[in-house]
Structure 1
Amino acid sequence: MERSLETQVSQAVDAWLRWVPRWEPATHRGRIAPCRRCLGSPILSAAGLGSDVPHGVQHGLSTRVKTIVDHAVADYTSRNLPMLQDELDQQAARNRSRGYRPTEGLDPEFDGLPLDPDPVPGQPFLFTIAGMASEDETQVPSLPPLSEDAKIALRREVALADEYANLIGREVCAILLHHRLRIHAAIVEYVEPQVAAMLAELSQALDDPFEGLGL
């Protein structure tokens, strides 16, 4: 029996709540480019996760909830949009023929993030994961070209899929509003103390720049 959207969103929030206690502030250098999945996300707005919440915490929830929308759109497409489904099936077969697929099977906390760290000026990488994936992709045959009529029909089906995605997205956001208290409580209990401790440690280091140097 298919689960309702309410059940799916509740289970996604439950899974995120089980993960949040394991979250720790990142110690590596922050990224320059914003996350396309989280920047301005209505999902995060509905969940009450503002810009003051660390991105890793945001990403873990937005990815889980967006997966619900993606699955709903995939089901709608398979039942109602044959041309688009055929294109997706061909693309999926093309992807399966690639020997190196580093973006598959990632945990929600890492799904959608850049594969490589930001480069350091003057210190080029010997190789990158994204570069290796791109090289592997060039060896896979391209999809067959479409006629102009087929392109028009395909654009129409893509527009319908986008409309359905927006509809499901609004419903999911409305459901998330009912989970705000649980989400906020987890932020207060597990996230804010770690952020406060990190800021206190940074403040102490800035106040005593010569501590330990004997000056």
Structure 2
Amino acid sequence: MEGSIESRTSHEVDNWLRWLPRWHPGTHRTRARLCHQCFGSPVIAAAGLSEDVPHAVQHALAMRMKIVVDASVDEYTEQHLPRLSHELRLDDLRRARRAYRPTEGLDPEHRGLDLDPPAAPDAPYLFTLGDLAGLPESDEADEPRPLSADEKAAVLREVAVSDAYAAEAGRRLCVELAKHRARMRAAVAEFVEPQVQALLADLGSTLDSPLWPRGS
């Protein structure tokens, strides 16, 4: 696949459209807080999915678009920002020493979601995935030497350059994503809206059950 932001965006939109027919409304859990990846996201707005679209559908697209921006920023950092690239490699090595990493290797539509569903009130407590992810790191490898003040300043300058590049990559992605808006909205209308309407109809029939007591 060509490495441009535009081609990668188109590729990930195609992947999202292939995933969408497999989506079904979740009924086993609710979110306890807003998703910062999706709420107010310019990516979701560019796709035309800001309103009347379930969060899981938005989130799957947002995480695929994050892959596009992250890949572009990683390539730019590796090629043009050597100090920052070195520090990121060291951080990757530190992360690799963790005993368990439950957030890695997930499909894009599941990344960034809560690790653990709400516990049942009467369920025995053993441990959660979040607990395992928080285990201390191994001390097998030596810690790198601290950076000098000049080295820290140099890394921070490269971080600022990387942030600026990421913002520009995000803008380019949104421009490209808007070109796919019509087919994404059509897919939502075909695969998502009928399921949402069926769920609402089922809820309405439950609330209007003849078995419920009625007021005088």
**Do both share a fold (TM > 0.5)?**
yes
Counterpart Cα distance in 2 of 1:38 and 1:84: 28
Shift of 1:2: 3.8
Cα 1:111–1:140 change in 2 (3 A) is farther
Shift of 1:140: 7.0
Equivalent position SS for 1:109: helix
Shift of 1:120: 5.8
CA contact (8 A) 2:25 2:195 kept: yes
Instruction: Name structure 1 gaps, 5 residues minimum.
Output: none
TM-score, normalised to structure 2, is: 0.90
CA contact (8 A) 1:47 1:176 kept: yes
Counterpart Cα distance in 2 of 1:155 and 1:124: 46
Counterpart Cα distance in 1 of 2:47 and 2:121: 37
**Cα deviation per residue 1:158-201 (whole Å; 9 max; x = unaligned)?**
11100000000000000011100000000000000000000010
Q: Confirm whether residue 79 of structure 1 aligns to residue 85 of structure 2.
A: no
Shift of 1:50: 1.2
Shift of 1:137: 3.2
Cα 1:49–1:140 change in 2 (3 A) is farther
Q: Confirm whether residue 181 of structure 1 aligns to residue 201 of structure 2.
A: no
**Cα deviation per residue 1:95-115 (whole Å; 9 max; x = unaligned)?**
222231111110011011121
Q: Percent identity?
A: 51
**Cα deviation per residue 1:57-98 (whole Å; 9 max; x = unaligned)?**
011111111101000000110111111111100011112222
Q: Equivalent residue for 1:17?
A: 17
Letter in 2 for 1:113: L
CA contact (8 A) 2:97 2:137 kept: no
Q: Equivalent residue for 1:100?
A: 100
Letter in 1 for 2:29: R
Counterpart Cα distance in 2 of 1:124 and 1:147: 49
Shift of 1:149: 1.8
Q: Equivalent residue for 1:200?
A: 201
Residues 47-196 of structure 1: matches in 2 within 5 Å? 47-119=47-119, 125-137=125-137, 143-196=144-197
May I ask how many residue pairs the two structures share in their alignment? 211
CA contact (8 A) 1:64 1:108 kept: yes
Q: Equivalent residue for 1:46?
A: 46
Q: Which runs of 4+ in 1 moved over 3 A?
A: 118-125, 136-144
Counterpart Cα distance in 2 of 1:156 and 1:123: 50
TM-score, normalised to structure 1, is: 0.90
Equivalent position SS for 2:44: helix
Equivalent position SS for 2:108: coil
Shift of 1:123: 6.3
Q: Equivalent residue for 1:32?
A: 32
Shift of 1:209: 6.3
